[in-house]
Structure 1
Amino acid sequence: MMRDVNETFREVIQAIFPLTLAVVLLLLVFVGIGLDDLISFLMATVLTVIGMTFFLTGVKMSMLPIGEAIGADLPKHNSLAFIAVVAFLLSSFVAIAEPNVNVLINMIDSALQGSINNNLLIISIAFGVGLLMAISILRIVFGTPIKYLFAASYSIILLLSFFVPTDYLAIAFDSGSVTTGAMIVPVIMGLGVGMASVLQDRSELDGFGLIGLASIGPILSLMLLGVLSS
């Protein structure tokens, strides 16, 4: 476990240190921040590093193995409906738990002053992730080329973009990006790789690409929500 913690700690440092250095330089050169505020910022950065280290270590040690185990077990039930339902429910619940989604919802609520119901946004995002994840898992079962799903999905997005209100259009694309966070990615990748690894005539590479497909789901669901509410 300590090896996992140390490895994750180095990854977090490599990710945060350049950003911290850039922010400190901007604050000192252009903003003229005081010493107390600078110390507060650095202390908050240290706490961020510690928190992200333990959080990401927990995700690696729990969520990824769980996703792989569930993915490897699903084909044993010989039921496409069961596979689709489990993939939908699992990815939907993980999307609700994703910290990035909650950050986005709070920012939307602040910017639009509560004009869009937060619960409706969360449900729409979770539904979109779950639906595309279920379709993606079935794609692995049937061996459908992933390029067809991408082409069809983005064609629908392009068509809907002409009818979606501006506010919803911007929110929809941001919702797609926040569903590639630390909680969702290990589960989806583990589920796909685990599924592909136990199917005959399938390579583990067939389990990749699910993150890209899953991120399309919230875009489509929020676009449809915008069209229906306009």
Structure 2
Amino acid sequence: MGEFGELARGVLKSGRNLLPVIAVVALFQAVVLREIPEGVLPVIAGLALVAVGIGLFLRGLELSVFPVGRSLANAFAEKGSLPWLLAFGFCLGFAAVIAEPALIAVAHKAQTVSDGLIQAWTLRIVVAGSVGAVVALGILRAVLNHPVHWYLIGGYLLLVPVTYLTPPEVTGLAYDAGAVSANIVTVPLVAALGIGLMASLRGRSVLADGFGLVALAVFAPRVAVQIYGIVVYAFEPGALAGYTGAATAPLPADDGRAGHAALVLLATDLLRILGNLLPIVAVVLAFQLLVIRRPLLHPHRLAGGFLFLVAGLFAFTEGLHLGLFPIGEHLAAGLAGAGSAVFLYLFVFLLGFAATLVEPALIAVAQRAGTLAPRRLHPPLIRGLVALGVGLGLGVGTVRLVTGWPLDHVLVFTVLGLMLLTLLAPRDLVGFSFDLGGIATSDVTVPVIAALGVGLAVALESDDVLLDGFGLVALASLYPIGVVLLYSIFTRAAPSERH
């Protein structure tokens, strides 16, 4: 009965978190578009499934992912084997990304539109390998007690020349690869590993040193894929002539699921979720049983948590297809066609703000950070700041789309601004701020932003529909970093909290 009560409270809380999204959509549908859209009931059912899925997912994290992350970090710290710890970090990062469905979709699309110059499997290896390598690098940085801000500044400054040297179409693909590398499962697990590792080492600040792994995992594919694209197209100067842009995970369509076809599609979705989780489970079990050589603590509890994760992700994914996916494209197209730029910018901002508030990975990490520094990092405040950043990023991206500003210029000036804020911000919140940028573009916001970008580009008769959608995703992941860094600068006088 106690577990059922916890689940019920989690689902109700998730339902309350969805209210901003519902309010934004209803407001613009009634006041601006002045019409009742078709298929309202499936959208409502989808939103209910999203609430149930988030509730199950968060409970699964508490029962399985967070305890496993803490346990492994403690065991490696006690064992004192840095090579095995680095090997675990690499394998965890690689396994978490290689089976990501959105990455698979991006890779196959890139192979198609490049006439085979970019190989789907090679691209997946590049992304997964870069994430694994940088997770290992982040662990080494934490153990050696190097300040995380120098790694982030150096890495993002490297993005500036690389972005200008890369063909614009490949830049869009690279930034999308960075976004999909931070998914709903890996973000909490990587964060739990970093926090657990710092908690195991004496004299370390969990808040200052435990974050930064997610930020590095998001940054690495953006550089690696651009370099890969530069090398590939250096030998094929005319290859980009027919390029139409890469794609994120397939945008939803009204596929008329019914009867046997619906069951097949549901089973396929469930198998994809299991396929995404099993490589991570295999890595954890292999290192737990073969390297650390300790039995799992509370295996029944961990198994129950894993089932909650699977059920939560399944309900969440189906809810996205029914409820959240169609919203962005439909309303963006309607607003763009209405001819009112003010309403369009306001809607884009509010939709990004509302969608970010219900991001499961953000909710989980904000709650975790709130336990480390309750006086400075109130979870609702952190979620609000990140949502504000996503809204601002989408606003800038929409202005860019309407005015035709070059995407690379906007990205580079944004990165340079972030580097300046990084130098001014308190060191203990730099890694946390950059992690939030990766977390902001995960399983809720990326599909909504992608649908929003496609809807806007179609309505505005863009020459490259999919590429323009990528600009929105990239900016939505960068502006939250700036907002949280600004918050940390203005609250510098607050006493530091160490645990």
TM-score, with length taken from structure 2: 0.41
Task: Kindly indicate whether residue 86 of structure 2 is the aligned counterpart of residue 84 of structure 1.
Answer: yes
In the TM superposition, what are the counterparts of 1:1-150 in structure 2 within 5 Å? 1-28=3-30, 30=33, 32-34=35-37, 37-97=39-99, 101-103=100-102, 105-106=104-105, 109=108, 113=112, 115=114, 116-150=118-152
The 1:184–1:151 alpha-carbon spacing in structure 2 relative to 1, beyond 3 Å, is same
- Partner Cα distance (2:108, 2:33) in 1: 30
- Structure 2 spans left out of the alignment, 5+ residues: 234-499
> 1:72, 1:92 → 2: CA distance?
22
Q: Identify if the C-alpha distance between structure 1 residues 30 and 76 changes in structure 2 by more than 3 Å, giving closer, same or farther.
A: same
Residue 196 of structure 1, CA deviation: 1.0
Whether the 8 Å contact between 1:124 and 1:221 is mirrored in structure 2 is yes
Instruction: Report the structure, 1 or 2, having the larger helix content.
Output: 1
Deviations 1:1-48 (A, max 9, x none): 33542443244224322213323444455273455x111211222222
Q: Is there any run of 5+ residues in structure 1 with no aligned partner, and where?
A: none
Q: Does 1:222 align with 2:221?
A: no
Moved more, 82-91 or 41-50: 41-50
Question: Do the aligned partners of 1:136 and 1:213 also contact (CA within 8 Å) in 2?
Answer: yes
Structure 2 residue corresponding to 1:167, chosen from 160, 169, 176: 169
Q: How much has 1:220 moved relative to structure 2?
A: 1.9
Where 2:78 maps in the other structure, the secondary structure is helix
Counterpart Cα distance in 2 of 1:124 and 1:22: 39
The 1:38/1:114 distance shift into structure 2, 3 A limit, reads same
Q: Could you tell me how far 1:131 is from its partner in structure 2?
A: 1.2
Question: Which structure has the larger Rg over C-alpha atoms?
Answer: 2
- CA–CA distance in 2 between the matches of 1:204 and 1:84? 19
1:161 counterpart SS class: helix
Residue 210 of structure 2 corresponds to residue 207 of structure 1: yes
C-alpha distance 6-86 of structure 1, shift in aligned 2 (>3 A): same
Amino acid aligned to 1:178 = V
Deviation at 1:123, TM superposition (A): 2.6
Deviation of 1:144 after TM superposition, in Å, equals 0.5
Q: Deviations over 1:172-222 (max 9, x none)?
A: 223323333321121111111111111122222211222222211221221
> 2:166 touches 2:230 (CA, 8 Å); kept in 1?
yes
Residues 112 and 176 of structure 1: CA distance in aligned 2, closer, same or farther (over 3 Å): same
Q: Distance in 1 between matches of 2:22 and 2:192?
A: 32
Larger RCO (CA within 8 A; separation ≥ 6): 1
Cα distance between partner residues in 1 of 2:206 and 2:160: 31
Aligned residues: 226
Q: Over the residues paired in the alignment, what is the CA RMSD in angstroms?
A: 2.6
For 1:148-191, what per-residue CA distance to the aligned partner results, in whole angstroms no more than 9, with x for missing partners?
A: 10122112211211221212211222332333332112111111
Task: Please report the TM-score for the alignment, with normalisation by the length of structure 1.
Answer: 0.84
Deviates more, 1:166-175 or 1:16-25: 16-25
CA contact (8 A) 2:111 2:120 kept: no
CA 1:8 to 1:212, structure 2 compared with 1: closer, same or farther past 3 Å? farther
Q: Letter of the 1:119 partner, please give it.
A: W
Aligned match of 1:182 in 172, 181, 184? Answer: 184
Alpha-carbon distance in 1 for matches of 2:105, 2:230: 22
Identify if the C-alpha distance between structure 1 residues 8 and 119 changes in structure 2 by more than 3 Å, giving closer, same or farther. Answer: farther
Residue 272 of structure 2 corresponds to none
1:178 and 1:8, CA in 2 relative to 1: closer, same or farther beyond 3 A? farther
Q: Decide whether aligned partners of structure 1 residues 170 and 69 sit closer, same or farther in structure 2, where only a CA change above 3 A counts.
A: same
CA contact (8 A) 1:127 1:221 kept: no
Separation of aligned partners in 2, 1:6 and 1:96: 34
Deviation at 1:111, TM superposition (A): 8.2
Give 1:88 deviation, angstroms.
0.8
Query: 1: CA distance between counterparts of 2:50 and 2:228?
Result: 35
Q: Specify whether residues 149 and 11 from structure 1 end up closer, same or farther in structure 2 by C-alpha distance, changes over 3 A only.
A: farther
Q: Find the aligned partners of 2:33 and 2:40 in 1 and give their Cα distance.
A: 14
Q: 2:104·2:124 contact (CA, 8 Å) conserved in 1? A: yes
What amino acid sits opposite 2:232 in the alignment?
Answer: S
**Contact 1:129-1:218 within 8 A present in 2 as well:** yes
